[in-house]
Amino acid sequence: MPKSDNVTETYLRNGLGIAKIFGWLLVLGVALSCSCVHHKCDPAYAGPKDKRPDIMDYYSYPKRPIQAKVETLKEKRRYMIHRVEFPSALNVYSTENIKVDYYVQKKEGKFPTVLVLPISGGVDFSVTSFAGHFASRGFNCAIVHNRDADLESTQSAEEIEDYFRQTVLDNRQVLDYLVEQDEVDAERLGCLGLSLGGIRASMLAGVDERVRCVAIGLAGGSIADITLQSGEKEIKDQVKTLIEMGATTDLIYTEMSEKIVTDPLRLAPYTDARDVLMFIAMFDRVVPRDCCDRLWESCGKPEVVYLPAGHYGSFLFLPYAVCKTYDFFEEKLCH
């Protein structure tokens, strides 16, 4: 057989192999999505609690013009990705700048805009998958980077509280920046987050009424319960260290319950459950399933998708979650 025919045969064989792989991936994706359990928002839900003035005071900060440094990171067919950086008006935990990867539509007009809050490890393929999917379909997206001084660096309940309060302050200031942009429709703002990002998304939605809808993935409450019940090695090691220093689990729980006021269970009731979508991993041990269910109840039993996996295994469902979340935001912000 001529050499060119060998090349053609090899190409076809490889092409068929690749097609077969994509076919199996498609079948796997469909099978996984069909194995999820989905519940609509509780029809008996009566509405959110009114926000107390002291809560709004606690998460307020000096209002001033935001002088942001902006540089272009990438250009896509429909959108640009800019790095936006500016100092916080109030720092209660570390002093570094607020950093945002801003996916902004190229064409003129005002567009719905979504904050995307990363996992504890920072910006990874999961959050960029959401942002890329949304931006390619006409949404602006703002991925808010975690501060370099992360949660694992905290040494006390007071520091943990400062950390979570700072995330609310930072994300509110990102909203301040966004609503001043010509391409952002200030009446169509949403927020989504996974794991630690989901915890922070639930907090922001409970504080800031500009967030019209929120998607919360693999998150729970309270922070004290997650800390003492989590199977995550880093968290278990922190608890073990405290016990070796003389603390008891009861003391740790009491300290955290009393001093961590920026907690999902305390803020979630101020969010309208009709504008919430949750993803819960049925066999989650990192954010224990009981803590996830408690957050769902605290939110008012919103729409929820139960994924038949553990915390990390849930990332097999990422393509499904991206599409499901997009449909949710498209319904809430575009109709």
d(CA 6, CA 181): 57
pTM (two decimals): 0.89
Where are the chain's structural domains? 35-334
Q: State mean pLDDT over 149-156.
A: 81
**Predicted local confidence at residue 120, as pLDDT:** 92
Task: Return the axis-axis angle of helices 196-207 and 157-179, rounded to nearest 10°.
Answer: 70
Q: How many residues make up the chain in this entry?
A: 335
Range with lowest mean pLDDT among 14-28, 120-134, 224-238 = 14-28
Question: Where do runs of H (alpha helix) occur along the chain?
Answer: 3-34, 53-58, 125-135, 157-179, 196-207, 223-229, 233-244, 249-259, 264-267, 289-298, 318-334
Q: What is the pLDDT of residues 230-288, one digit of tens each?
A: 999 999 999 999 999 999 999 999 999 999 999 999 999 999 999 999 999 999 999 99
Q: What is the pLDDT of residues 43-96, one digit of tens each?
A: 999 999 999 899 999 999 999 999 999 999 999 999 999 999 999 999 999 999
d(CA 232, CA 71): 37
Q: What is the pLDDT of residues 288-303, one digit of tens each?
A: 999 999 999 999 999 9
| CA neighbor of 173 nearest in space, from 67, 73, 83 | 67
Q: State mean pLDDT over 9-34.
A: 50
Q: What is the pLDDT of residues 31-40, one digit of tens each?
A: 556 789 999 9
Query: Is 50 exceeded by the pLDDT of residue 15?
Result: no
CATH of range 35-334; options 3.40.50.150, 1.10.10.10, 3.40.50.1820, 3.90.700.10: 3.40.50.1820
